[in-house]
C-alpha cells in the first residue's frame, strides 16, 4: 500500500506538473482563455504568485509562491480545475464522465516539488520555459505563445534567443514520466518523497 506524503511549507515555493486524463488532448490550449480565467478566479479567492508557467496542449508546469503563513495549495488546485471544468461545460464543450459520474478531464494525481533554494528554482524555471521545445511543439522557445518566457524577455531577465544551448538536467525529476506511469500503475516509489510527491486532485466535481 502506498502512503502519500504531502510536503507543506507555509509561504513555500512549489513546482507543479498537472496533466489531463487524455494525454492526446489539446484542450488546455483550445480553451486557454478559460484556463486563464480559472487561475484568475482562484487567485482572487486565494492569492498566489505565479513565478513561471507554461501551458502545453495536455499538461502544464508552473511555480507558485504562496503567501506567508499559507500552505494550502491543494485547495487552489481544486478551485482551478473545478472552475475550468464548469466553464468548459458552460461553453458547450463535451466533457466525458466516468462510471461514477465524475468529470473525466484531469488526472487525479499531480506532481509537486518543494523548491529548496535559488539553484533549484532556477533549474525549474528553465525547465518550464524549455518545455515546448523539449516536446517538439516548436523549434525555438520564443515561438511558444503560452509561456511566461515572454514576460521574462520583456523584463530583460532572459534574452529572446534563450534556450538555443539549453540542456535538461537528468538528475532532476519534473513529474512528467511519473505522471504517465501513474496512469498505468497503482504504486509509486517511496524514493525522494521528502520534497517531491503525488497528490490526489479532488477535482471531479
Nearest in space to 205 (alpha carbons), one of 80, 65, 67: 80
CA dihedral defined by 112, 117, 119, 122, rounded to 10 degrees?
Answer: 50
In total, the chain counts a number of residues equal to 205
Taking the alpha carbons of 153, 28, 23, 116 in that order, is the dihedral positive or negative?
A: positive
- Tell me the catalytic residues: 146
Q: How many CA atoms lie within 13 A of 4 on its CB side?
A: 14
Cα(150)–Cα(144) distance, integer angstroms: 9
- Model pLDDT for residues 89-118, shown as the tens digit of each residue: 898 887 766 666 566 799 988 999 999 989
Q: For residue 96, what is the domain's CATH number?
A: 3.30.70.1290
Instruction: State the pLDDT at residue 48.
Output: 95
Measured in whole angstroms, how far is the alpha carbon of residue 82 from the centre of its chain?
A: 15
Q: 31 in a domain, yes or no?
A: yes
Nearest in space to 196 (alpha carbons), one of 124, 131, 148: 124
Q: 97 in a domain, yes or no?
A: yes
Instruction: State the pLDDT at residue 172.
Output: 57
Q: 205 in a domain, yes or no?
A: no
Q: 185 in a domain, yes or no?
A: yes
Q: 102 in a domain, yes or no?
A: yes
Q: 149 in a domain, yes or no?
A: no
Q: Are 5 and 189 within 8 A, CB to CB? A: no
Cα(19)–Cα(180) distance, integer angstroms: 9
Q: 70 in a domain, yes or no?
A: yes
User: Looking at the 3D structure of the chain, how many domains does it have?
Assistant: 1
Q: 147 in a domain, yes or no?
A: no
pTM: 0.80
- Model pLDDT for residues 132-187, shown as the tens digit of each residue: 999 999 999 999 999 999 999 999 999 999 988 877 665 455 767 555 544 444 33
Residue-range definition of the domain harbouring residue 62? 13-115+174-200
Amino acid at each position: 500500500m502506498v502512503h502519500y506524503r504531502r510536503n507543506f511549507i507555509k509561504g513555500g515555493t512549489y513546482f507543479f506538473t498537472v496533466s489531463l486524463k487524455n494525454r492526446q488532448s489539446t484542450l488546455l490550449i483550445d480553451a486557454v482563455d478559460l484556463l486563464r480565467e480559472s487561475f484568475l478566479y482562484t487567485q482572487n479567492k486565494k492569492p498566489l504568485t505565479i513565478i513561471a508557467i507554461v501551458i502545453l496542449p495536455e499538461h502544464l508546469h508552473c511555480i507558485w509562491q504562496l503567501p506567508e503563513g499559507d500552505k494550502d495549495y491543494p485547495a487552489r488546485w481544486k478551485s482551478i480545475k473545478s472552475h475550468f471544468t464548469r466553464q468548459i461545460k458552460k461553453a458547450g464543450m463535451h466533457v466525458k464522465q466516468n462510471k461514477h459520474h465524475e468529470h473525466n478531464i484531469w488526472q487525479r494525481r499531480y506532481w509537486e516539488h518543494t523548491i529548496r533554494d535559488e539553484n533549484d528554482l532556477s533549474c525549474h524555471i528553465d525547465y518550464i520555459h524549455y518545455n515546448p521545445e523539449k516536446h517538439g511543439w516548436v523549434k525555438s522557445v520564443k515561438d511558444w505563445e503560452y509561456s511566461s518566457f515572454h514576460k521574462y524577455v520583456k523584463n530583460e531577465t532572459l534574452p529572446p534567443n534563450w534556450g538555443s544551448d539549453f540542456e535538461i538536467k537528468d538528475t532532476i525529476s519534473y513529474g512528467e514520466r511519473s505522471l504517465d506511469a501513474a496512469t498505468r500503475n497503482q504504486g509509486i516509489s517511496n524514493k525522494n518523497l521528502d520534497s517531491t510527491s503525488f497528490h490526489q486532485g479532488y477535482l471531479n466535481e
